[in-house]
Amino acid sequence: MPDLTNRPVFGAEHHEFRALVREFLAREVLPNAEAWEQAGIMDKQVYKAAASAGVLGFSVPEEYGGLGIDDFRYNAIVAEELAIAGGVANGLALTLINDILAPYLLRLTTEEQKQRWLVPLASGDMTFAIAMSEPGAGSDLAGIRTSARRDGDDWVINGQKTFISNGILSDAVVVVCRTDPEAGHKGFSLIVVEDGAPGFERGRKLDKIGLKTQDTAELYFADCRVPAGNLLGTEGRGFMHLMENLPSERLSIAISGIAGARRTFEQTVQYAKDRQAFGQSIGSFQANRFTLAEMATELDIAQVYIDNCISRVLDGTFSAVDASKAKWWCTELHKKVVDQCLQLHGGYGYMLEYPVARDYQDVRISTILGGTTQIMKEIIGRDLGF
């Protein structure tokens, strides 16, 4: 298991929290891995257990049932520990809720909405999803066609969303809608659609290459009616609300990438010591030894950058460009490390009983979700003046 404690960015209280997260995963998640794998979805009650353990909703103020911890290092620890646990833990939507949904509900809600959504989020009684992607709009959010129009005291929503993480288990979905078709980027709004809303249907649970226990779904809205009070934030500022939260989301993905890569790498180092070929360990062959040396170096360098990013979140200097650099580089490195580690396992790496094979399936989405590698490079390139 990677030792992630000897890093100046973390203090004693963070090490205690890391131990708490590991204990929660060992107690509530890992023993259920086989059952959840067979079911293709996890038990929703795990989110109540996560909230009770302080692993979910810790940023929510105490008056709304949380711990009132406004410190991104706690988010980073959860992301790292899920990645280190690997397997079924990768399917938990804890980072989705802690890093994406909770900030929206903290920053954009009215007092009435906080009582309705934030309090049950902190207790684990409600889980949430965010619906951006559509069949014809992924990275290009400006291509979103799902519409919402006012009709008296209601919003009426029509459209379709796809690739929605936590789309089956969620009790409420933050839906990105076009509320003014003539206003361009200023024509989008965020509207919360709760379970049971008339005209709201969940489609199939999508069959994916990896992350089998994380429910990813299609969502349909056919004259779906929700109260006008379900508008999240300001009408017409939905696109800006999304942009405000994307840097921390992308950094969280990068953090998970490096932690997951370290896990796979360390398991492979041990395998390379134990596995014998031609009378010696396979790690002692120069070609393999050099491959492992390169990965060890790249992971150490990436970890330094990640910790610097975390520090910049804390002092308020972290930017969308920084997040784009971290996201594309760390996820591409994660993919590269897993691929090389599988190669070092030889035929055994192709067998699903070995963790590296599962890692190979799960890692592929990392360079796509949260913004593809190509989009990240586009953001960086534009910042350079091109």
The residues that are catalytic are: 249
Cβ-proximal residues to 45 (8 Å cutoff; 6+ apart), any chain: none
Determine how β-strand 280-281 pairs with β-strand 276-277: antiparallel
Question: Strands 147-151, 188-194: parallel, antiparallel or unpaired by DSSP?
Answer: unpaired
Q: Which strand (E) or helix (H) includes residue 326?
A: helix 320-345
Q: Could you tell me the CA-to-CA distances from 276 to 184, 224, 260, 296, 319 in Å, in that order?
A: 62, 62, 26, 22, 47
The answer to whether 188 and 178 have CB atoms below 8 angstroms apart is yes
Nearest to 263 by CA among 83, 112, 94, 138: 83
- Residues linked to residue 67 through DSSP beta bridges, in sequence order: none
Contact 219, 172 (CB under 8 A): no
Q: What is the 3-state secondary structure (H, E, C) of 263-303?
A: HHHHHHHHHHHHCEECCEEHHHCHHHHHHHHHHHHHHHHHH
| Structure tokens given for 244 | 């405000």
Would you give the distance in Å from CA 186 to the centre of its chain?
26
Which pair of tokens denotes residue 126? Answer: 């409600």
Whole-number Å distance between alpha carbons of 16 and 12: 6
User: What are the phi and psi torsion angles at 360 (to 5°)?
Assistant: -60, -40
Q: Is residue 316 within 8 Å of residue 242, measured between CB atoms?
A: no
Give me the residue label for tokens 């959010």. Answer: 141
Residue 148 contacts residue 134 (beta carbons within 8 Å): no
